[in-house]
Amino acid sequence: PATNLGLEDIIRKALMGNLEE
């Protein structure tokens, strides 16, 4: 369902966060 895709996007972006720091 669309929400799960949304969930994965939020998770990927938040996980990537540590690469920018």
Partner 1 sequence: EITKEQQAFMKVIVDSYNRHQIPQDVTKKLLQEQYSAEENFILLTEMATSQVQVLVEFTKNIPGFLSLDHEDQIALLKGSAVEAMFLRSAQVLSTKMPNGHTEVLEERIRNSGISEEFMTPMFNFYKSIGKLHMVQEEQALLTAVTILTPDRPFVKDHPAVERLQEPMLEVLRKLCALHHPREPQYFARLLGRLTELRTLNHYHTEMLTSWRMN
Residues that bind partner 1 (CB under 8 A): 1, 3-4, 7-8, 10-12, 14-15, 17-18
> How near is the Cβ of 18 to partner 1 at its closest, in Å?
6
- Displacement of CA 1 from its chain's centroid (Å): 16
> How near is the Cβ of 4 to partner 1 at its closest, in Å?
7
Q: Rounded to whole angstroms, how far apart are CA atoms 12 and 6?
A: 10
The DSSP result for 1-21, as a single string, is -HHHHHHHHHHHHHHHHHHH-
> How near is the Cβ of 5 to partner 1 at its closest, in Å?
10
